[in-house]
Amino acid sequence: MLRDENPNLRLARHCLFIKDTHGVFSEPVDPEELPDYHDIIKQPMDYGTVRKKLDKGLYPDLEQFEVGVAIFWNRFLECDLLLV
């Protein structure tokens, strides 16, 4: 299991999470605040979920960690496009 002990992984994690300075993407979207979100976004992902999975060693390898981060970025871009 991939864990946070690898110095390169710790650096990557730090760089990813430091960018969310206002904590906007730090937790899953609350369906009470955005009731249509899960109708539009079929595979939600956020920094907090990526971080928790990494902390618990739930990514079996670096490739799966990359997939989690890619899903997050895709959700971010989809939401950004919906706001335009």
pLDDT(61) > 70: yes
Q: What is the pLDDT of residue 32?
A: 92
Q: What is the pLDDT of residue 84?
A: 52
What residues pair up with 5 in beta bridges, in sequence order? Answer: none
Residue 2 is classified by DSSP as B
Place of tokens 């946070």: 4
pLDDT(8) > 80: no
d(CA 26, CA 46): 6
pTM over 0.75: no
Using 50, 70 and 90 to split pLDDT, how confident is the model at 3? low
The string of DSSP letters for 32-61 reads TT-TTHHHH-SS---HHHHHHHHHTT-BSS
